[in-house]
Structure 1
Amino acid sequence: MQSFSQAVARARRDFTATRYAGLADDLAGLIPVARAATDPAGQALAAQVYHLAALTLIKLSAPPYAWVAAHQGEQAAAASGDLRALAEARRDMVSLFHRAADYAKARDLTARAADLLRPRLADAPPAAWGAYGALMSTGAVAAARMEDRHSALAMLEEAAEASRKAPKLVLSAGHVVTYRIGVSIVLGDAGMAIEHARAISPEDIPTVERRASYYTGSAEAYTLWGKTDRAVRALLVAEKIAPSEVRRPGPRRVIEDLLHRDPHSHLSGLRALAMRASVAL
């Protein structure tokens, strides 16, 4: 069990460092161990494996397989009764419904999960608070897609409260800011997104994955705000931090938008960035 726990901890570190390709290989070796788990502690670890598998498959643009991992994670989390595992499993489902453009289901699933989990948080360990806050952050974006500003902002406030009780590598104030940026963009307020970005130093975001999201979110906000040179600079920083993040669909759409706004590519570094990200010129 100890070696399994240590392997799961390493996998989490690899995810936050955006080492997705190698992580996928490692998780393939951990899944048979997860399937063999029977006791509650083993099932809780198994749920973490499936959670990381779902997140990694989402990052690698393989949603059908992510759904399978998420369903297995739900089963393991339910068998374990572990609060952290339950929150992470719910978050995976919310994220997948969001990516399938079923925003209402994602928002409502978040709200139901909050009603179920919130009463149990009083004496919960820090990791459970972090998982709950991550769930609320993800649900907030889905609520924003529904133009449900009230729910989106309320979920972000719950996430901010959770971040004060969570391990910083799981959920920090900086993590929540990246979601505030995303929610503001979805709600059509690029200026507010920039204000959120300016309210925190990116160095205060402890994980590479979220720090890269800070810069890609800032780039999208600057693009919508018409500050295209700043958008390109933000994307270049994100690429330096985590190249794989800039090759994901969202940042690639921002690059396409920038190319459209500047068809002759006068923006310094944009064409080269587009080529590296496999965006058609």
Structure 2
Amino acid sequence: MVEADPYNHAVARFRDALVPDTPVKVSDMSLPLISRAVTKARRDFTAARYAGLADDLAGLVPVARTACDPAGHALAAQVYHLAARTLIKLSAPPYAWVAAHQAEQSAVASGDLCAIADARRDLVSLFHRAADYGKARDLAARAADTLRPELPGAGPAAWGAYGALMSTGAIAAARLEDRASALSMLEEAEMASSRAPRLVLSAGHVVTYRIGVSIILGDAGTAIEHARRVAPDEIPTVERRAGYYTGVAEAYTLWGKTDRAVRALLIAEKIAPAEVRRPNSRRVIEDLLHRDPHSNLSGLRALARRVSVTL
């Protein structure tokens, strides 16, 4: 049995910031101050510090709501985008939908290519999590058709956002067993990674999505082959590095190599405990326990207790 998510307080703060019951007094913040706060928030996200990040972003949401020019809307879109991504990590999709909708509105108002790609990626992620895989795949494909002609003159951040959008779309395509679209999107993501800031989208980031696509398509061996193509230390963000190890753990579980799966999960927990508390990782732990309810695998039962998974 997987117990309830532990981040209720952070989610409640987000909820009240996104949909306040009463008018919220907003402190004056200049664009440079907001920009610095957003940069810090992005660093916290890549470091998988989700609970503290939720508090910081909840404080920025009322400020984002006051945006009134393209530069302000672009920053607001970043706030809402990070809010949506964090709420997804905190397993709170209803509020993530609210943030994603506001990110989309702000992005369109800003005209910023990076903001638009980020907002579309949030929607693709949420449709995927709602099991509407066709909508998620098609939205990613249409967004790519719109954004692709603008990319040659775009900056590195836009390339990174585009590659992340394609990576997420590939996962949805794989759910539909649309191997051709999934692999094509991953190729585009890999191409974009060569033009993107390394912290936003590196080749190592894309490998984590290749692992995920292979697992969904039922090819655990190929997932492990992809994992061996990159040294985990070359993946520059804690969030994606932990995702690499949880993906490896899932592949080894499907492959029946449970001892290696447990080792990968323990490494992921050491890197980013919050990632191992997420639903997919907890399902892998539950699967491992079901496969061998009397398991003596080193560390598995203790790990299960730490992340509130019981049989």
Q: Which bracket does the TM-score occupy, shorter chain normalised?
A: over 0.9
The 1-side partners of 2:238 and 2:264 are apart by: 15
The 5 A counterparts of 1:223-234 are 223-234=253-264
Q: Does 1:267 align with 2:297?
A: yes
Paired residue secondary structure (1:280): coil
CA apart distance, 1:55: 0.4
| Inter-partner Cα distance in structure 1 for 2:298 and 2:32 | 50
Separation in structure 1 between the aligned mates of residue 283 and residue 83 of structure 2, nearest angstrom? 25
Q: How many residues align?
A: 281
Match of 1:217 among 240, 247, 258: 247
- Cα separation, 2, equivalents of 1:42 and 1:6: 13
In the alignment, residue 9 of structure 1 is paired with which amino acid? Answer: T
Could you tell me how far apart the structure 2 residues matched to 1:135 and 1:194 are? 23
Distance 2:193 2:54 in 1: 28
Partners in 1 of 2:59 and 2:300 — Cα distance? 39
**SS of residue matched to 2:290:** helix
Counterpart of 1:82 in structure 2 is 112
* 1:87-98 matched pairs, under 5 angstroms: 87-98=117-128
Q: What SS is found at the alignment partner of 2:218? A: coil
Paired amino acid for 1:280: T
Secondary structure, in 3 states, of the residue corresponding to 2:223?
helix
Matched, 1:177 2:187: no
Q: Which runs of 5+ in 1 are unaligned?
A: none
- 1:192-271, aligned counterparts within 5 Å? 192-271=222-301
Structure 1 residue aligned with 2:150:
120
- Which of 178, 197, 200 is equivalent to 1:148? 178
**Helix, strand or coil: the match of 1:122?**
helix
Task: Give the alignment's TM-score, normalised by structure 1.
Answer: 0.99
* Segments of 4+ moved more than 4 angstroms: none
Give aligned-pair identity as a percent. 81
Partner residue in 2 for 1:22? 52
Residues of 1 paired with 2:96 and 2:309: CA distance?
25
Residue 54 of structure 1 is aligned with which of 84, 92, 113? 84
Q: Does 1:66 align with 2:96?
A: yes
- Secondary structure of 2:162's counterpart equals helix
Q: What's the C-alpha RMSD, in Å, of the aligned pairs?
A: 0.5
Larger RCO (CA within 8 A; separation ≥ 6): 2
Shift of 1:196: 0.3
